[in-house]
């Protein structure tokens, strides 16, 4: 019977909908230990690291997570984020940008720093972008701006060891269209759910990349996650 070396994953945003799915899937693999980082605990994780209450000091957050993370890591998965709408003329526009940057850019930056400091050679870091942010997003500028910044971070991390990641590490961005979450179903009850991506499908793909470096796209790739008629495709964006 084949045995697997012990592995350790850190899931940043592990108490959110997608984070819980990633934690749950990795828990089905007996050689993986999973640490969740979030404002709330995830009881399914082996270990939880609590983030400070909002508004956070992100430098302090990065330092506290590093200090609380036991040992080295084989995968860092950042699925923290949130959606904020609005155009430049809205009274709350600047606030929407600030919120989106905190939710997506700062969380991804902390995750990238943790990966640079703790990831083993040939490890994996996954950040969450957005397929919509490959194009202009006039009705959700703050969100689009933040996710585009995450895309830039992924490409930069994938540029080689000069970006700070260890030898052989892979940085990938997942760019979903719409995830099938309870919150999305609540606010869009009449949508075509067959075009929404199940959380477990994303979690399974992330776990597959974590398990097998040869199955990963090229480091720095942005991977569109598109579901049509209930079938999901993971397709790297052409450079």
Report how far residue 149's alpha carbon sits from residue 128's, in angstroms, rounded to the nearest whole number: 11
Report how far residue 154's alpha carbon sits from residue 111's, in angstroms, rounded to the nearest whole number: 11
Q: Of the candidates 82, 24, 16, which has an alpha carbon nearest to the alpha carbon of residue 51?
A: 16
Q: Which residues are annotated as catalytic?
A: 143
Report how far residue 206's alpha carbon sits from residue 233's, in angstroms, rounded to the nearest whole number: 13
Report how far residue 73's alpha carbon sits from residue 87's, in angstroms, rounded to the nearest whole number: 39
Report how far residue 169's alpha carbon sits from residue 118's, in angstroms, rounded to the nearest whole number: 11
Q: Of the candidates 177, 164, 71, which has an alpha carbon nearest to the alpha carbon of residue 111?
A: 164
* Residue 225 neighbours by CB under 8 Å, 6+ apart: 131, 174, 175, 176, 177, 197, 202, 232, 233, 234
Give how far the C-alpha of residue 202 lies from the chain's centroid of Cα atoms, to the nearest Å: 10
Q: Of the candidates 164, 165, 159, 146, which has an alpha carbon nearest to the alpha carbon of residue 221?
A: 159
């Amino acid at each position: 019977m084949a045995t697997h070396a012990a592995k350790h994953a850190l899931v940043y945003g592990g108490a959110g909908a997608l984070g819980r799915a990633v934690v749950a899937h990795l828990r089905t693999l007996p050689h993986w230990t999973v640490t969740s980082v979030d404002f709330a605990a995830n009881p399914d994780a082996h270990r939880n690291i609590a983030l400070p209450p909002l508004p956070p000091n992100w430098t302090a957050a990065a330092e506290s997570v590093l200090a609380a993370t036991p040992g080295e890591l084989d995968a860092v998965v950042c699925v923290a984020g949130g959606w904020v709408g609005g155009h430049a003329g809205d009274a709350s526009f600047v606030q929407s940008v600030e919120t989106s940057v905190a939710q997506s850019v700062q969380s991804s930056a902390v995750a990238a720093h943790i990966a640079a400091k703790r990831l083993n050679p040939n490890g994996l870091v996954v950040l969450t972008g957005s397929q919509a942010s490959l194009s202009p997003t006039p009705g959700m500028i703050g969100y689009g701006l933040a996710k585009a910044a995450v895309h830039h971070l992924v490409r930069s991390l994938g540029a080689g060891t000069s970006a700070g990641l260890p030898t052989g590490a892979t940085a990938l961005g997942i760019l979903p269209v719409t995830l099938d979450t309870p919150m999305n179903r609540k606010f869009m009850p009449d949508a075509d759910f067959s075009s929404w991506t199940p959380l477990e499908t994303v979690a399974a793909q992330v776990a597959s990349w974590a398990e097998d470096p040869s199955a990963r796209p090229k480091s720095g790739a942005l991977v569109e996650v598109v579901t049509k008629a209930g079938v999901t495709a993971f397709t790297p964006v052409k450079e």
